[in-house]
Amino acid sequence: MKTILITGASSGMGYQTALCLAKAGYQVFGAARSVAKMQPLKEFGVVPIEMDVTNDQSRKQGLLKLFNKHIKLMF
């Protein structure tokens, strides 16, 4: 299964892209400042991640949460 991170997944094109890819069978992580707006996507398996891509600390925290809780990297 392919894993995808969609930024801006709380509305518009990001929301629709996350929805379409989740319905197509991808493992989708949706990143946005407002996790509440992504709650309907959870029904389709999208995992919401709180992240403001314009803020360095927020990006770091969001990615750390993603990798620590959901994705295991193998090197």
What's the pLDDT at 57? 95
Please give the tally of structural domains in the chain: 1
Q: Which residue range(s) make up the domain with 56?
A: 3-69
> Which one is predicted more confidently, 67 or 12?
12
pTM: 0.86
Does residue 74 lie within any of the structural domains? Answer: no
Q: How far apart are CA 15 and CA 52, in angstroms?
A: 15
pLDDT band of 2, cuts 50, 70, 90: confident
Q: How far apart are CA 75 and CA 54, in angstroms?
A: 29
What's the pLDDT at 72? 66
**CATH code: domain of residue 48:** 3.40.50.720
Longest Cα–Cα distance of the chain, Å, equals 35
Across 13-27, average pLDDT:
97
Does residue 75 lie within any of the structural domains? Answer: no
What's the pLDDT at 73? 58
Across 44-60, average pLDDT:
95
